[in-house]
Structure 1
Amino acid sequence: MAIITVTGNKGGVGKSTTAVHLATYLSDFGQTLLVDGDPNRTAIKWAERGSLPFKVADERQAVKLAREVEHVVFDTPARPESNDLLELAKGCDLLILPTTPDLVSLEPMLETAAVLNTTNYFFLITIVPSYPSKRGEDMKNDLRTGKIPVFNTTVRMSDGFKTAAEEGVPVRQVKDSRKRAAWKDYEALGSEIMELLS
């Protein structure tokens, strides 16, 4: 069983969107459960508006349901304390920390990296502006220079994710075919994660 936790230092970085789309990717390889531990219950509300290809439950229901699946994705509350962050990291196979490519996000990321220096974690750069902006690539290179684990894949800014949440489906199933293209980023991320966990 693969256990992946998605957490972040601030809201608005695509944490729940990442959890939903990683669970979607993993559901193609076996039964998957998304545990929605975020007080906003974003994933649960997303599922209630439509149909997701995996089970979604809050943390109280998760213990029983986790026995029935091959993959578990946790969507945690934003801004965990340092001790909570270490415990989250110890309790999963991979801890993913989404962040946007800006200085306001970078500073708390560096603090987080100092706390997590020996655990299995990676930063994911999300909501990356489209070309010609180089913010996503620049941040990825800066993190690598600082020896901070960061995924090769970045997730581009797309209105498709908002549409997906409104329709209650993963972005690969939205009605507008142009917006479905946003799925490619999470498909690439999923492939990268499968390699890491194998």
Structure 2
Amino acid sequence: MATKGTLDETVILGFGSGGKGGVGKSTLAVAAARILAEDLRVLLVNSDSVRTAVRLIKRGRDEHFPFDMADAVDELDRLPELRHSNDYDVIVVDLPGTKAGAFEAMLTGHDGKPIADLLVIPSRAEFIELEATIESIDTAVIPAGIPYLLVLNQVPTKRRDRAMQHRETLRNRKNHQPVVVAETLITYSATYFDAHEAAMTVIDMPGVHSYARGLEAEQRALVDEYRTMLNLPAARRR
């Protein structure tokens, strides 16, 4: 592993769900922490009472999760303190799985600015799922001025074309502010369940030519989008 860098100030990357639960929020948060930790000092903060990330990491091996973790359920009011950390370059926050309290927790720090430098909002790409998420973005996220990125997650292979259509429609809304949507689509795959059962992310799933490598490439491409939006240094490819 390359020597980890040190940034001038800590970056806060939040993962919240604007609609239904079960959209892969914690999976994306852990994958982001895993990839960013190859180059930077990373802390993953869990504030989701389901504790998906906590249970996964506790079952896993240290080399599969090369970052620190803090369990902060019921401590959303302390999230502003993260901004003052000098021990980490990036703090990834896994927010509650439903709308309640998740966006509000990221709104205002002690200096009146949003706590999160970037709020990642995963959603399935089907309209019935997107509708509630977009409503949350329009009514809570955009008015608060939080930099955000909508990620179309768990996209079935046969529905990729439809997902891309939704992505372009959201980017080019006529009567509303355009939605910031990730270029990377994250494919739905049972391999994610296999990885969770094996107590690792798809990044560490074995097999040079396995299906996991395609999923890993998607996760790395998505993290590159986070890096660009946050002005983080480019990844040091291994």
> Normalising to structure 1: TM-score of the pair?
0.90
Question: Contact 1:129/1:136 (CA < 8 Å) preserved in 2?
Answer: no
Measure the CA separation in 2 of the matches of 1:197 and 1:101. 24
- Give the aligned residue type for 2:96: P
State how 1:74-113 maps to structure 2 within 5 Å. 74-81=93-100, 84-89=102-107, 90-113=114-137
Measure the CA separation in 2 of the matches of 1:2 and 1:138. 32
State how 1:48-67 maps to structure 2 within 5 Å. 48-51=58-61, 52-59=65-72, 67=86
Q: Say which SS state the counterpart of residue 157 (structure 2) adopts.
A: coil
Q: Say which SS state the counterpart of residue 104 (structure 1) adopts.
A: helix
Question: Contact 2:121/2:148 (CA < 8 Å) preserved in 1?
Answer: yes
Question: Contact 2:157/2:188 (CA < 8 Å) preserved in 1?
Answer: yes
Identify which range, 137-146 or 119-128, moves more after superposition.
137-146
Q: Does 1:193 align with 2:226?
A: yes
Q: Does 1:121 align with 2:148?
A: yes
What displacement does 1:140 show? 0.8
Q: How many residues align?
A: 197
Query: Which sections of structure 1, spanning at least 5 residues, go unmatched?
Result: none
| Change beyond 3 A, Cα 1:77–1:131 | same
State how 1:3-42 maps to structure 2 within 5 Å. 3-8=12-17, 9-42=19-52
The alignment yields a C-alpha RMSD, in angstroms, of: 2.3
Runs (4+) of structure 1 moved beyond 3 Å?
Answer: 60-64
Matched with 2:183 is 152
Query: Which sections of structure 2, spanning at least 5 residues, go unmatched?
Result: 1-9, 108-113, 232-238
Q: Does 1:180 align with 2:190?
A: no
Matched with 2:164 is 137
Measure the CA separation in 2 of the matches of 1:94 and 1:77. 16
Matched with 2:54 is 44
Q: Deviations over 1:26-58 (max 9, x none)?
A: 101211111111111111111112121212221
What displacement does 1:80 show? 2.5
Could you say which structure has the higher helix fraction? 1
Identify which range, 160-169 or 17-26, moves more after superposition.
160-169
